[in-house]
Amino acid sequence: MVKKINLPITDEDIKDLKAGDSVLLTGTILTGRDAAHKRLFELIEQGKELPVDIKGELIYYVGPAPAKPGYAVGPAGPTSSYRMDKYAPSLLDLGLKGMIGKGARNQAVIDSIVKNKCVYLVAIGGAAALIAKSIKAEEMLCYEDLGTEAIRRYTVEDFPCIVAIDSEGNNVYETEPPKYRK
Amino acid sequence: MNIRQIKAETVTATVKKLFMDCNYYIGKDIMEALTTACEKESSPVGKSVLSQIIENDKIAASEQIPLCQDTGMAILFVEYGDKVVIEDGSFNDAVNEGVRQAYADGYLRKSVVSDPVFDRVNTKDNTPAIIHTTIVSGDKIKITAGGKGFGSENMSAIKMLTPSYGIEGVKQFILDTVRNAGPNPCPPIVVGVGIGGTFERAAQLAKKATFRPINTHNEDVRYAELEDEMLEEINKMGFGPAGLGGNTTAIGVNVETSPTHIAGMPVAVNICCHAARHASAEI
């Protein structure tokens, strides 16, 4: 079954999401990856205010390609999430509700997802041209000097993803591959 | 054979076209393998992922947009004929200019930083390219170019095995590397294996192996069998498309070898995502 979610995501939405569910997101999400996370993390460590309000938001780990004329955004598939593992728990503690990326997370991130009642969604790596069809607009928020790694706000419509780790800590990367192991 | 003069701008135009083409059009070998895998995949989620990847690659080709946002570092394997002279500039400058133009005019992502540790400032034109040049006899330049994303590059590994490890040691290292990569490198993957040479030669061969079409085999039947066996074993791991479970973890294993030292047996495993992009041209 495909679950449709209108953003911002609510605690009830998150509670209802189970590992393995297919989800279509509509509303706005933030973007950010390695370099932006490093900067946010350093600000948190220094006790300073962040340049973007992450409370209640989902962040998409993406560094898009440039948009061709006539396109709202360029191809924009997920990047590997584990590189953000060092930073993710601090952001979840500050009220970030979830992350969209690809691939496995470490135990600290899983624990933080459970503790903060958050969710980890994944999009299909390498399906950037297809995924971009569900991104209707983008707005530059901060760190423009980082180019593709800047923090943007995407307006999405039926953005396709899968629940990889739910708020109870169930993890498809742990449960699914063993079913097909020979 | 007479000296042949080639214009720098010819090299630039060729390189530009190769990088745009390889980022828009997935190879026929990859598309065929994805299609076959999609038919055979027993996981419903895996099947759905594969069909979305196929749809994605068709969209990219028909709209001439990059099939993956990570349009990679620019890598070139060049066979440079020893009778060729670049008429009005340097070969390397001409190549980098081609990369610069492809990534700007082709709406490809600029993913290169100037300093790896301290500055990490984007060079904004995706240069410098990684250029592997071999001088061959003749008056032509053959270029195979590819954009390599780092989701899969980061999952690669090299090990200086020694002779007593034998073929079993080689197999174990290949499988361990793929298992450690797990769901992260955007499976189904293409696995390039370089065996022999020195530390750097093994790594270079592994990369070269990922540039070889996956519907071909190593000419030495023993390594061709190794390719088949490793593909079968990897697909028993269960990671499946996007790592969400299934029978299709890899769509190809290519092995390249080189003579090596009496004391050594280096093995490099270069992992490539399903967006295994490369294109060739001869000038």
Determine the number of helices (DSSP H) and then strands (DSSP E) in chain B. 8, 10
Q: Show the tokens assigned to B163.
A: 């002779």
The minimum CA-CA distance between B242 and chain A, rounded to whole Å, is 6
Per-residue pLDDT of chain B (283 residues), as tens digits, is 799 999 999 999 999 999 999 999 999 999 999 999 999 999 999 999 999 999 999 999 999 999 999 999 999 999 999 999 999 999 999 999 999 999 999 999 999 999 999 999 999 999 999 999 999 999 999 999 999 999 999 999 999 999 999 999 999 999 999 999 999 999 999 999 999 999 999 999 999 999 999 999 999 999 999 999 999 999 999 999 999 999 999 999 999 999 999 999 999 999 999 999 999 999 9
Closest to B172 in 3D by CA, of B110, B245, B229 = B229
Determine the pLDDT at residue B181.
96
Which of helix, strand or coil describes residue B69?
A: coil
Span A106-131, pLDDT tens digits:
999 999 999 999 999 999 999 999 99
The tally of CA atoms less than 13 A away on the side-chain side of residue B243 is 28
Cα dihedral sign, A9-A15-A19-A21 = negative
Tell me what pLDDT residue B1 has.
77
Judged by CB atoms closer than 8 Å, whether chains meet at B49 and A35 is answered as no
Residue B247, chain A, CB below 8 Å: the answer is yes
User: Does A80 lie at the interface with B, CB-CB under 8 angstroms?
Assistant: yes
A129–chain B Cβ distance below 8 A for any pair: yes
Contact in structure between A139 and A122 (CB atoms under 8 Å)? no
Pick the residue from chain B with its C-alpha nearest to A126: B68
Mean pLDDT of A119-144: 96
* CB of A121 less than 8 A from some CB of B: no
A20 touches B at CB < 8 Å: yes
In DSSP notation, chain A reads: -EEEEESSPPHHHHHH--TT-EEEEEEEEEE--HHHHHHHHHHHHTTPPPSS--TT-EEE---PPPPPTT-SS------BGGGGTTTHHHHHHTT--EEEEBS---HHHHHHHHHHT-EEEE--TT-HHHHHTTEEEEEEEE-GGGGGGSEEEEEEEEEEEEEEE-TT--BHHHHSHHHH--
Burial of B226 (0-12, 13-18, 19+ CB in 10 A): buried
pLDDT given for residue A157 in this prediction: 98
Q: Kindly provide the ipTM of the predicted complex, given to two decimals.
A: 0.94
Contact residues, chain A, for B153 at CB < 8 Å: none
Q: Which residues from chain B sit within 8 angstroms of residue A120, using beta carbons?
A: none
In this model, does residue A87 exceed pLDDT 80?
yes
Residues of A in contact with B244 (CB under 8 A): 122, 162, 164, 172-173, 176
SS3 (DSSP) at B279: strand
Going by C-alpha positions, the residue among B23, B25, B210 that lies closest to residue B103 is B23
For residue A104, the chain B residues in CB contact (below 8 A) are: 182-184, 243
- Distance of residue A21 Cα from the nearest chain B Cα, in angstroms: 10
Closest partner residue to A177 (CB to CB) among B65, B238, B274 is B238
Q: CA angle B151-B157-B161, nearest 5°?
A: 170
Mean pLDDT of chain A: 96
Domain spanning A2-180, CATH class: alpha beta
Domain ranges of chain A: 2-180
Q: Does A41 touch chain B (CB under 8 A)?
A: no
Q: Does A1 have pLDDT greater than 90?
A: no
Does any CB of chain B come closer than 8 Å to the CB of residue A67? yes
pLDDT tens digits, one per residue of A2-23: 999 999 999 999 999 999 999 9
Write the DSSP string, A45-69.
Answer: HTTPPPSS--TT-EEE---PPPPPT
Chain B residues whose beta carbon lies within 8 Å of the beta carbon of residue A75 = 60, 65-69
CB–CB contact B154 A127 (8 Å): no
CB-neighbour burial class of residue B135 (10 A; exposed 0-12, middle 13-18, buried 19+): exposed
Contact state of B59 with A130 under an 8 Å Cβ cutoff:
yes
How do A98-101 and A58-60 pair as beta strands?
A: parallel
Q: Is the pLDDT of residue A142 over 80?
A: yes
Cα A25 to Cα A13, A20, A67, A162: the distances in Å are 11, 15, 21, 10
Cis peptide before A66 (omega within 30 of 0): no
User: CB B109 to CB A20 under 8 A?
Assistant: no
Amino acid identity for residue B157 in this structure: A
Which chain B residues in 190-219 lie under 8 Å from chain A, judged by CB atoms?
A: none
> How many residues make up chain A in this entry?
182
Domains of chain B plus CATH, in order, are 4-23+67-148 (3.30.360), 151-281 (no CATH)
Residue B228 pLDDT: 98
**DSSP one-letter code for B243:** G
DSSP state letter for B127: P
A151 with A32: CB under 8 angstroms?
yes
